[in-house]
Structure 1
Amino acid sequence: MVNIRSLDPSASPLDYYGSELRRLREEAQLNQQQLGDIIFCTGSLIGQIENAKKLPTREFSERVDAALMTGGLFTRLVSLVLRSQLPSWFQEYAEMEAKAAYISTYQCQLVYGLLQTEAYARAVLSIDYTDRLEETLAGRMERQQILRRKNPPVLWVVLDEAALHREVGGREVMRAQLEHLLTFASEPWVKIQVLPFEVGEHAGVVGTFTVLRFDKDPDIFYSESYDSGHMTANSQVIRERSVGYSRLQATALSVEESAGLIARVMEERYGHGGVA
């Protein structure tokens, strides 16, 4: 049994989640092991989460809600908990991304975070977040929940062809990642265009950037450097980058042609007979 420690619910979303779990479990007159038996986990895991020593998962939260009849409380809280595991400089952007009605992004190096497989994301994050890899990975995968909402945002991605050829995590990981991109071909709210090498100079040579549009709030332009992000609602910046993005869309392959190129790279470079 994990020792009970005093939590400050205001210290972090994880502490608040743990304190609420303990409070509502005790109200239900269940000990940690009894609740664990009901939701098919160990009492030790319940204790670790109550003490903010371990991250809850979405599945765990859904089971707790069902067991304690909490009306979806923990399923709602887990989004805040997992998002709080993202790098501090990135959290503000993630909050804005989750509220956006329309996301337009140009990615020159990597697949956009909302479209990454878990294995691909793990390989990317392992470079800089070795000490908190699992927590940061959980936060990144949680971001993708916005695409599974009843009313998801429109997501339009212009992806540089370089991202298809840059081998992240090994050939099997890349093949699965490109295959994952192809699954979005049937999604009406997600469009992927590839900017081919043959284009040469283009409106995105300044690097990766994203424009977020909202139903009622001003648009936001976002870019980032190595360990910091920059957001602005400056109308002139939005105007310039929106025009630049339109030029990228016009220069890139069509959505259908892009899917064809992704499939060819997947087979020729990452297939069983592909280039090593």
Structure 2
Amino acid sequence: MLADELARLRGASGLSLRELADKVGWDYTHVHSLEKGRNLGGPEVIEALDTVYGTTPMLMLLWELAKDGATFREKYVRYMELEAEALAIEHYTGNFVPGLLQTEAYARALLWSTPHRPENLAELEEQLEARMGRKEVLRREPAPYLRAILDEAVLRRPLLDPEEWHAQLAYLVEAASLPHVTVRILPYSVGLHDLVGGSLTIFRRPDDRTAAFMESSKGGELTEEPTAIERLRLSYDAVQDLALSPRDSVAFINQLMEDGAPCDPSAST
């Protein structure tokens, strides 16, 4: 949005890149990289552009949003690096099926739920392809151990297509049959717990160090600090103690498949 707005404003002003660069006091190649989205720049150049265009503080507000988004992307890139190298991955998720256990239909529904425009569809398809590609980590040699705890809420929010939802549940059961994958369900009946409302992933790396990623629907926080990870480790272990056994968890999922989608209000009408 920032890059598009910068390009639009210069087009409306009739200024060339060099003319604009002279006005703001920055090299024209730097200004060009801002308009192409290759560089975020710093607050000084954005403030100067706001002044030239008379848009203060609009560009600065867009820059702040873009900066926060870039920070989250950097964390997510690190997340994927940790996932690719991990010896063991431990998930707790309270809102949705973890990426490594998603079917394509589930991943598509989740990605497409983000507000978007038609011009964003190509980017969403790229994200979908990348997410499906990440699942290969469970098929590599040697594959990491995956321990996934899913809150019951995850299984009570089905896909709109019953067949696609059945396929997602079946995929969880299939994944749980792999010798290096454990799926456990945390039932509503356990009540409140320390990780309610969010998601946690803990990675054990080849050097025996660990990293952890806490995530909400709109952002995430990656930490590799040992003291913080130890606190999160204790929270994960406490939640695991409350979860159903792996065998009972698979039976729970199988029962959901037999029952259909009991939480769908339209099922009883």
* TM-score of the two chains, using structure 2 as the length reference: 0.66
For 1:128 and 1:87, locate their aligned partners in 2 and report how far apart those are by CA, in whole Å. Answer: 16
Out of 98, 108, 133, the residue aligned to residue 84 of structure 2 is 98
Q: Show the counterpart of 1:179.
A: 170
Amino acid at match of 1:128: T
Q: Is the 8 A contact 1:104 1:157 kept in 2?
A: yes
Determine the C-alpha separation between the residues in 2 that align with 1:218 and 1:118. 32
CA distance in 2 between counterparts of 1:140 and 1:91 reads 12
Residue deviations 1:128-158 (CA, integer Å, cap 9, x gap): 2741221110010011110010111000000
Instruction: Name 1:252's counterpart in structure 2.
Output: 243
Distance 1:177 1:251 in 2: 24
Q: 1:199 to 1:138 in 2, by over 3 A?
A: same
Q: How many residues align?
A: 190
Structure 2 residue identity aligned to 1:97:
E
* Alignment partner, residue 7 of structure 2: none
1:139-178 matches, within 5 Å, as 139-178=130-169
Which residue type is aligned with residue 92 of structure 1?
A: R
Q: Cα distance, 1:89 vs. partner?
A: 4.8
User: What code does the residue aligned with 2:162 have?
Assistant: R
Structure 1 vs Structure 2 CA RMSD? 2.2
Return 5+ residue gaps in structure 1 as ranges. Answer: 1-85
Q: 1:189 deviation in Å?
A: 0.5
Task: State the Cα distance separating 1:243 from its structure 2 match.
Answer: 1.1
The letter for the 2-side match of 1:95 is E
CA separation in 1, counterparts of 2:135 and 2:73? Answer: 16
State the alpha-carbon separation in 1 of the partners of residues 197 and 158 from structure 2: 23
* Larger relative contact order (Cα-Cα within 8 Å, sequence gap ≥ 6): 2
From 88, 95, 105, the counterpart of 1:109: 95
238, 256, 263: which one aligns with 2:254: 263
**Is 1:120 matched with 2:120?**
no
Query: 1:238/1:87 Cα in 2 relative to 1: closer, same or farther (>3 Å)?
Result: closer
8 Å contact kept, 1:105–1:209: yes
- Deviation of 1:206 (Å): 5.2
The separation in 2 between residues aligned to 1:142 and 1:163, in whole angstroms, is 23
Structure 1 residue 248: Cα displacement: 1.1
Q: Which residue of 2 aligns with 1:42?
A: none
Alpha-carbon separation, structure 1, partners of 2:86 and 2:238:
22
Counterpart residue number, 2:204: 213
Pairing 1:1-276 to 2, within 5 Å after superposition: 89-128=75-114, 130=116, 131=120, 132-205=123-196, 207-216=198-207, 218-270=209-261, 276=267
User: How far apart, CA to CA, are the structure 2 residues paired with 1:148 and 1:185?
Assistant: 13
Cα drift, residue 239 of structure 1 = 0.9
> Equivalents in 2 of 1:144, 1:129: separation in Å?
25
Shift of 1:224: 2.3
Q: What do residues 76-121 of structure 1 show as CA deviations (whole Å, max 9, x unaligned)? A: xxxxxxxxxx956522211111111110110101011000000110
Distance 2:75 2:112 in 1: 18
Within 2, Cα distance between the matches of 1:220 and 1:197? 28
Q: Secondary structure at the match of 1:167?
A: coil
Q: Once superposed, which parts of structure 1, at least 4 consecutive aligned residues long, lie more than 6 Å away?
A: none
Structure 1 residues 110 and 226, CA, compared in 2 at 3 Å: closer, same or farther?
closer
Cα distance in 2 for residues equivalent to 1:230 and 1:93 = 10
Q: Distance in 1 between matches of 2:95 and 2:218?
A: 16
Identity %: 38
Question: Does the aligned pair in 2 maintain the 1:120–1:169 contact within 8 Å?
Answer: no
The AA in structure 2 aligned to 1:171 is P
Write the distance in 2 (CA, Å) between the matches of 1:126 and 1:177. 17
Secondary structure (helix, strand or coil) at the match of 2:159 reads coil
Kept in 1, the 8 Å contact 2:85–2:206? The answer is: no
Matched letter for residue 250 of structure 1: D
Q: Report the Cα distance in structure 1 between the residues aligned to 2:108 and 2:81, rounded to whole angstroms.
A: 21
Cα distance, 1:168 vs. partner?
2.6
